[in-house]
Structure 1
């Protein structure tokens, strides 16, 4: 059956990008882990945020990171040239915590800093 990974984090984007993000999430909907996505009840100011939090099976990691990679590739939609940015921490039951940065059109994964090791307890 495999182990579990606690995934939690957020993405930040503009209104146009948010619509595309939501389309990508819908296209990957699985009626289970996709329920971990949420947005604020009401938009506050200009930056849009979308959050994810769920304990998912290790076997579903590729499903999730495929979404994030596709989302990261969404182009800038205004003159500011701002791409989607975000940060996720993924705590694996055995392998510990990794940091997933969404920046510059990519998903960049690396071991989490030691300050995040308390999440492994």
Structure 2
């Protein structure tokens, strides 16, 4: 059956970044895990949010992190980069917190504050 990682979280961006992000997501289309991406039905105010939620096979995790790494480097019109937060819960090794900031993906153990999500 394989090992799975439950990936859930969001990205924050502006209009220009959203268009670039959607191009990256389309370029990585796989007709399966790509369906985990979503946006609100209607945009509200100025920040755009993109959400992801899916249980991803460990063997396909690079598919997701490659997208995030590429997306993290997209600047807005003022030079600010995409930012976001994801939790990735591995069936065996536990939960990691992925921070998307400063053009990179930073991964660290999530600690006990998110433990309720895996009980």
How far is the alpha carbon of 1:77 from its aligned partner? Answer: 2.4
Matched, 1:77 2:57: no
Calculate the aligned-residue CA RMSD, in Å. 0.9
TM-score of the superposition, structure 2-length normalised?
A: 0.96
Q: Classify the secondary structure of the residue corresponding to 1:23.
A: helix
Name the counterpart of 2:21.
Answer: 21
Name the counterpart of 2:7.
Answer: 7
CA-to-partner distance for each residue in 1:22-68, whole Å, 9 max, x for gaps?
Answer: 00000000000000000000000000000000011011111100000
Query: For structure 1, which runs of at least 5 residues remain unmatched after alignment?
Result: none
Alignment of 1:104-115 (within 5 A): 104-115=102-113
How far is the alpha carbon of 1:95 from its aligned partner? Answer: 0.5
Q: Classify the secondary structure of the residue corresponding to 1:62.
A: helix
How far is the alpha carbon of 1:114 from its aligned partner? Answer: 1.2
Query: For structure 2, which runs of at least 5 residues remain unmatched after alignment?
Result: none
Name the counterpart of 1:101.
Answer: 99
What stretches of structure 1 move > 4 A for 4+ residues in a row?
none
Q: Distance in 2 between matches of 1:34 and 1:95?
A: 24
TM-score of the superposition, structure 1-length normalised?
A: 0.95
